[in-house]
Amino acid sequence: MKKLLFIVIFSLLAVLAIYYAFIYFVPYSEGVRSGELIKISHKGVLVKTWEGEISQGISGAQIFTFSVLDKDKEVIDQLQEYQGQYVKLNYVERYATFFWMGDTKYFITKVEQEESPHFRN
């Protein structure tokens, strides 16, 4: 009976580890989005995560929400610096997320400041 219990618990842990590795290391897609950075915040009750939004239209009708991993300090600092400005964001989309990683499936990996196409000379 103990051997069967050990096999069941080990199998369950192995499946959970494989699922976590798949979600964390296998991206669904990668891409670039541009827009006006309208929000970056550190939010949560038990686990704080970095969340943000960019507006991809003049009226703000199309909002792209994203998360940033805590380990990406340089990206977080750049987002805070570029608040209210036009930015280009490189992101990785995952199949799913965990509550301690962020609220969205989109995780920002790089930030660049850009000139707004709406206000060019």
Q: What is the pLDDT of residues 20-51, one digit of tens each?
A: 999 888 899 999 999 999 999 999 889 999 99
The model carries a pTM of: 0.82
Out of 3.30.56.10, 2.60.410.10, 1.25.40.20, 2.40.50.140, which CATH number does the structure's domain 28-113 have?
2.40.50.140
Q: Encoding tokens for residue 67?
A: 């998360």
Q: Encoding tokens for residue 106?
A: 């989109």
How do the domains of the chain map onto residue ranges? 28-113
SS3 for the chain is CHHHHHHHHHHHHHHHHHHHHHHHHCEEEEEEEEEEEEEEEEECCCCCEEEEEEECCCCCCCEEEEEECCCCHHHHHHHHHCCCCEEEEEEEEECCCCCCCCCCCEEEEEEEECCCCCCCC
pLDDT value at position 61?
Answer: 75
